[in-house]
Structure 1
Amino acid sequence: MITAELIGNVWATRKADRLQGYKLMLAEVIGSTQAGQRMVVVDQIGAGIGDRVLVVCGSSARRMVGNDDVPIDAAVIGIIDGDCII
Protein backbone atom coordinates (compact mmCIF):
# COMPACT_ATOMS: atom_id res chain seq x y z
CA MET A 1 0.00 0.00 0.00
CA ILE A 2 1.28 3.46 -0.86
CA THR A 3 0.17 7.03 -0.26
CA ALA A 4 -0.46 9.39 -3.15
CA GLU A 5 -2.13 12.66 -4.08
CA LEU A 6 -4.62 12.74 -6.93
CA ILE A 7 -3.47 15.39 -9.38
CA GLY A 8 -5.75 14.95 -12.39
CA ASN A 9 -8.30 12.98 -14.34
CA VAL A 10 -7.37 10.64 -17.18
CA TRP A 11 -9.64 10.35 -20.20
CA ALA A 12 -9.05 7.68 -22.81
CA THR A 13 -10.87 8.06 -26.11
CA ARG A 14 -10.28 4.39 -26.77
CA LYS A 15 -9.61 1.78 -24.12
CA ALA A 16 -10.05 -1.92 -23.43
CA ASP A 17 -13.71 -2.93 -23.17
CA ARG A 18 -13.15 -4.20 -19.61
CA LEU A 19 -12.19 -0.67 -18.51
CA GLN A 20 -15.55 0.84 -19.49
CA GLY A 21 -17.23 2.53 -16.54
CA TYR A 22 -14.10 2.94 -14.42
CA LYS A 23 -12.96 6.41 -13.31
CA LEU A 24 -9.25 6.82 -14.10
CA MET A 25 -7.12 9.39 -12.28
CA LEU A 26 -3.51 10.50 -12.25
CA ALA A 27 -1.82 10.08 -8.85
CA GLU A 28 1.57 11.24 -7.59
CA VAL A 29 3.26 9.17 -4.87
CA ILE A 30 4.00 11.02 -1.61
CA GLY A 31 5.72 10.12 1.64
CA SER A 32 8.10 7.39 0.45
CA THR A 33 11.30 6.79 -1.48
CA GLN A 34 9.13 6.71 -4.63
CA ALA A 35 7.85 10.26 -4.00
CA GLY A 36 7.12 12.10 -7.21
CA GLN A 37 6.44 8.98 -9.25
CA ARG A 38 3.14 9.19 -11.13
CA MET A 39 0.67 6.45 -11.92
CA VAL A 40 -2.80 5.96 -13.30
CA VAL A 41 -5.23 4.61 -10.71
CA VAL A 42 -8.85 3.45 -10.74
CA ASP A 43 -11.05 5.32 -8.26
CA GLN A 44 -14.32 3.72 -7.15
CA ILE A 45 -14.67 5.45 -3.80
CA GLY A 46 -15.32 9.00 -5.01
CA ALA A 47 -11.98 10.68 -4.34
CA GLY A 48 -11.20 13.90 -6.15
CA ILE A 49 -8.30 15.98 -7.39
CA GLY A 50 -6.23 17.20 -4.45
CA ASP A 51 -7.20 14.31 -2.16
CA ARG A 52 -4.46 12.32 -0.49
CA VAL A 53 -5.28 8.64 -0.87
CA LEU A 54 -4.20 5.09 -0.11
CA VAL A 55 -3.43 3.05 -3.23
CA VAL A 56 -2.93 -0.69 -3.70
CA CYS A 57 -1.30 -2.30 -6.72
CA GLY A 58 -1.45 -5.61 -8.56
CA SER A 59 -3.96 -8.28 -7.64
CA SER A 60 -5.15 -6.23 -4.64
CA ALA A 61 -6.27 -3.50 -7.08
CA ARG A 62 -8.22 -6.00 -9.15
CA ARG A 63 -9.89 -7.33 -6.00
CA MET A 64 -10.90 -3.78 -5.11
CA VAL A 65 -13.00 -3.60 -8.28
CA GLY A 66 -14.27 -7.14 -7.72
CA ASN A 67 -13.02 -8.61 -10.99
CA ASP A 68 -9.68 -10.36 -11.52
CA ASP A 69 -10.13 -10.07 -15.30
CA VAL A 70 -9.99 -6.24 -15.36
CA PRO A 71 -6.61 -4.98 -16.68
CA ILE A 72 -5.75 -2.57 -13.87
CA ASP A 73 -2.66 -2.33 -11.70
CA ALA A 74 -3.55 0.36 -9.15
CA ALA A 75 -6.72 1.32 -7.27
CA VAL A 76 -7.67 3.87 -4.61
CA ILE A 77 -8.81 2.13 -1.42
CA GLY A 78 -9.09 5.08 0.98
CA ILE A 79 -9.03 8.84 1.37
CA ILE A 80 -6.56 10.11 3.97
CA ASP A 81 -8.03 12.50 6.55
CA GLY A 82 -6.81 16.07 6.27
CA ASP A 83 -5.27 16.10 9.75
CA CYS A 84 -3.00 13.07 9.23
CA ILE A 85 0.74 13.63 8.83
CA ILE A 86 2.53 11.67 6.11
Structure 2
Amino acid sequence: MLLGKVVGSVWATQKETGMENLKLMIVQPIDCFGNSSGQTVIAVDRIGAGVGERVIVSRGNPARMLFPQKVVPIDAIIVGIVDSLEVGEP
Protein backbone atom coordinates (compact mmCIF):
# COMPACT_ATOMS: atom_id res chain seq x y z
CA MET A 1 0.00 0.00 0.00
CA LEU A 2 1.03 3.59 -0.39
CA LEU A 3 0.10 6.99 0.99
CA GLY A 4 -0.99 9.53 -1.60
CA LYS A 5 -2.76 12.79 -2.29
CA VAL A 6 -5.59 13.01 -4.81
CA VAL A 7 -4.56 15.62 -7.37
CA GLY A 8 -7.23 15.15 -10.02
CA SER A 9 -9.84 12.95 -11.63
CA VAL A 10 -10.18 11.14 -14.93
CA TRP A 11 -13.32 10.93 -17.05
CA ALA A 12 -13.46 8.13 -19.59
CA THR A 13 -16.71 7.39 -21.37
CA GLN A 14 -15.24 4.33 -23.08
CA LYS A 15 -13.77 1.75 -20.68
CA GLU A 16 -12.89 -1.92 -20.75
CA THR A 17 -15.53 -4.42 -19.69
CA GLY A 18 -15.67 -4.59 -15.92
CA MET A 19 -14.79 -0.94 -15.42
CA GLU A 20 -18.27 0.48 -15.97
CA ASN A 21 -19.38 2.89 -13.22
CA LEU A 22 -15.92 3.07 -11.62
CA LYS A 23 -14.67 6.53 -10.63
CA LEU A 24 -11.00 7.16 -11.50
CA MET A 25 -8.74 9.54 -9.57
CA ILE A 26 -5.17 10.73 -10.15
CA VAL A 27 -3.08 10.12 -7.03
CA GLN A 28 0.38 11.52 -6.29
CA PRO A 29 2.29 9.20 -3.93
CA ILE A 30 3.63 11.08 -0.90
CA ASP A 31 5.90 10.27 2.01
CA CYS A 32 4.74 10.54 5.63
CA PHE A 33 5.67 14.25 5.66
CA GLY A 34 3.55 15.09 2.60
CA ASN A 35 6.41 15.32 0.08
CA SER A 36 5.92 13.84 -3.40
CA SER A 37 7.55 10.44 -3.66
CA GLY A 38 7.06 8.86 -7.04
CA GLN A 39 5.09 8.90 -10.24
CA THR A 40 1.35 9.61 -10.20
CA VAL A 41 -1.05 6.68 -10.52
CA ILE A 42 -4.64 6.38 -11.65
CA ALA A 43 -6.66 4.64 -8.95
CA VAL A 44 -10.25 3.44 -8.77
CA ASP A 45 -12.23 5.24 -6.06
CA ARG A 46 -15.29 3.52 -4.57
CA ILE A 47 -15.25 5.41 -1.25
CA GLY A 48 -15.72 9.01 -2.38
CA ALA A 49 -12.28 10.63 -2.08
CA GLY A 50 -11.95 14.16 -3.38
CA VAL A 51 -9.19 16.29 -4.85
CA GLY A 52 -6.78 17.43 -2.13
CA GLU A 53 -7.45 14.53 0.25
CA ARG A 54 -4.77 12.18 1.53
CA VAL A 55 -5.60 8.56 0.77
CA ILE A 56 -4.35 5.02 1.20
CA VAL A 57 -3.91 3.15 -2.09
CA SER A 58 -3.62 -0.60 -2.60
CA ARG A 59 -1.88 -1.75 -5.77
CA GLY A 60 -1.56 -4.88 -7.87
CA ASN A 61 -3.46 -8.11 -7.25
CA PRO A 62 -4.89 -6.99 -3.86
CA ALA A 63 -6.64 -4.13 -5.69
CA ARG A 64 -8.37 -6.58 -8.04
CA MET A 65 -9.38 -8.85 -5.14
CA LEU A 66 -11.96 -6.26 -4.04
CA PHE A 67 -14.04 -7.33 -7.07
CA PRO A 68 -14.53 -11.08 -6.41
CA GLN A 69 -17.46 -11.58 -8.82
CA LYS A 70 -15.73 -10.20 -11.92
CA VAL A 71 -12.37 -9.74 -13.59
CA VAL A 72 -11.42 -6.06 -13.46
CA PRO A 73 -8.40 -4.65 -15.32
CA ILE A 74 -7.21 -2.31 -12.55
CA ASP A 75 -3.84 -1.82 -10.87
CA ALA A 76 -4.68 0.57 -8.01
CA ILE A 77 -7.64 1.32 -5.75
CA ILE A 78 -8.22 3.87 -3.01
CA VAL A 79 -8.99 1.89 0.16
CA GLY A 80 -9.04 4.69 2.75
CA ILE A 81 -9.21 8.43 3.31
CA VAL A 82 -6.67 9.62 5.87
CA ASP A 83 -8.20 11.71 8.67
CA SER A 84 -4.94 12.22 10.56
CA LEU A 85 -1.38 10.99 10.54
CA GLU A 86 1.09 10.88 13.41
CA VAL A 87 4.78 10.57 12.65
CA GLY A 88 7.65 10.40 15.14
CA GLU A 89 11.06 12.02 14.81
CA PRO A 90 13.00 10.77 11.75
Please, what TM-score do these two structures have when normalized by structure 1?
0.85
Mark the runs of 5 or more structure 1 residues left unpaired by the alignment: none
Q: Look up the match of 1:50.
A: 52
Structure ranking higher in helix proportion: 1
SS at match of 1:64: coil
Where in structure 2 are the equivalents of 1:5-84 lying within 5 Å?
5-31=5-31, 35-67=37-69, 69-81=71-83, 83-84=84-85
Indicate the RMSD between aligned Cα atoms, in angstroms: 1.9
Larger radius of gyration: 2
Structure 1 residues 21 and 15, CA gap change in structure 2 (3 angstroms): same
Runs of 4+ that moved beyond 3 A: 65-68
Question: Displacement, 1:18?
Answer: 1.3
SS at match of 1:41: strand
Structure 1 residues 59 and 67, CA gap change in structure 2 (3 angstroms): farther
C-alpha deviations, 1:1-37, integer Å up to 9, x for none? 10000011101132112111100010000007x7141
Note if contact 1:6-1:52 (Cα within 8 Å) is conserved in structure 2: yes
Structure ranking higher in strand proportion: 1
Report the identity percentage. 40
